[in-house]
Amino acid sequence: MLDPVTGEPMDEKELAEQLLAQARAQGVSLVGPGGLLSSLTKQVLETALEAELTEHLGHEHGDTPAGSNVRNGTRSKTVITEIGPVEIEVPRDREGSFEPQIVRKRQRRLDGIDEIVLSLTARGLTTGEVAAHFDDVYGAKVSKDTISKITDKVIAEMAEWASRPLDPIYPVIFVDAIVVKVRDGQVRNTPFYVVMGVTTAGERDILGIWSGDGGEGARFWLQVFTELKNRGVGDVLIAVCDGLKGLPEAITTTWDRTVVQTCVVHLIRNSFGYAGRQHRDQIAKALRPIYTAPSEAAAKERFNEFADQWGQRYPAIIRLWENAWAEFVPFLEYDVEVRRVICSTNAFESINARYRRAIKARGHFPNEAAAMKCLYLVTRSLDPTGGGRARWMIRWKPALNAFAITFEGRLEAATH
């Protein structure tokens, strides 16, 4: 656009400043119906549609037609945009063969609106809350049925995501269960199992989500890990899990050199489940010397001290750690940098919090497919680094070097 005074081209900032000044002088608001942004959006869309029709017909407006097809007026149409409803005039052609792309036939929402709906849904808002949000913020009426149809669009995308190729090696994978209430005849607790991998580049990748019925065993887990192997995962150095039945055997059957490690965070949290609230801080302090011990022998000594102090009051905690000891002690063999990665304090818990927040907002789901769609919408909105990229990458590089030394040759072998 040219400056009306100098005749020189204006940059975007100058143009915005001039338009804003004009709007203020004319008493036009920035947002809302009839506002500056709405008027600009209307002009941009109508200009783009006119350009599309010109290309379709092969001649400019007012020029001699290139063929029998010519312009045939316009029709009014309201589209919902990121700034609210905008009424536009869509040009038509006499033969009705014009298929606009910027605002397609029967399209009532710009593509950005669908992404807003998906983003709000991934953050735990129900269809009713999303509809209310559009009404309050944009002054636009979007029905709950329309919102459900928008979220249904990701089903095909979800199927493609669930079968996508994976990396040949993951230094660490985490396996965890999220319990969801599903109303299928009657409301029941249904576990959904999430497998997250940390890539050699340090990015956290949700490899897949599987639903179960709570009675899964080695056969179920073998199917899960065989699927991951068929999608390209040739090796896993460490698998961190929470004592799920049949899982360790299935992991080592799929990748025979993988070390199965009990999730230390889950072990600590499960310990709190047996303790009185008034003793949890003391127990947390007493457990810390066990999982920070420099060796298994030192950890055993600290555990015996813990048992002497708390065993009589909370024998179930002692039994919990004794039963998990074989899968806990591999943790103690690694460099402190590796421990920081596989001790899943932040690696998985922040992601789990996102899943649980979205699930809690809904209470329960009509079926497993609806629950899976919700979990996938959360997954597609995640930052692959899990947030705090700079801090994570600073921690990851020393860990990667420690992995390369501890599991000598395996990182290189899997990538060549």
Mean pLDDT of 97-122: 71
Domain boundaries, the chain: 12-153, 160-414
Q: What is the pLDDT of residues 41-55, one digit of tens each?
A: 666 667 777 777 788
The pLDDT of residue 338 is 80
| HEC profile of the chain | CECCCCCCECCHHHHHHHHHHHHHHCCCCCCCCCCHHHHHHHHHHHHHHHHHHHHHHCCCCCCCCCCCCCEEEEEEEEEEECCEEEEEEEEEECCCCCCCCCCCCCCCECHHHHHHHHHHHHCCCCHHHHHHHHHHHHCCCCCHHHHHHHHHCHHHHHHHHHCCCCCCEEEEEEEEEEEEEEEECEEEEEEEEEEEEECCCCCEEEEEEEECCCCCCHHHHHHHHHHHHHCCCCEEEEEEECCCCCHHHHHHHHCCCCEEEECHHHHHHHHHCCCCHHHHHHHHHHHHHHHCCCCHHHHHHHHHHHHHHHCCCCHHHHHHHHHHHHHHHHHHHCCHHHHHHHCCCCCCHHHHHHHHHHHHHHCCECCHHHHHHHHHHHHHCCCCCCCCHHHHHHHHHHHHHHHHHHCCCHHHHHCC
The pLDDT of residue 17 is 61
Q: Rounded to two decimals, what is the model's pTM?
A: 0.67
- As beta bridge partners, residue 187 has 183
> 80-84, 141-145, 267-271, 387-391 — which one is most confidently predicted on average?
267-271
Check residues 146 and 72 and name the one with the higher pLDDT: 72
Q: What is the pLDDT of residues 322-363, one digit of tens each?
A: 988 887 888 788 777 787 777 754 556 778 888 888 888 777
Which amino acid does the sequence have at 243?
A: G
pLDDT of 18 higher than 70 = no
The pLDDT of residue 304 is 93
The pLDDT of residue 193 is 92
The pLDDT of residue 124 is 63
pLDDT above 90 covers a percentage of the chain that reads 20
Mean pLDDT of 295-308: 92
Q: How confident is the model at residue 309 (pLDDT cuts 50, 70, 90)?
A: very high
Q: What is the pLDDT of residues 379-403, one digit of tens each?
A: 887 765 555 555 666 677 888 888 8
The pLDDT of residue 391 is 61
Structure token digits, residue 371? 């629950």
CA distance 73 to 92: 6
The pLDDT of residue 388 is 52
Mean pLDDT of 222-241: 93
The pLDDT of residue 234 is 93
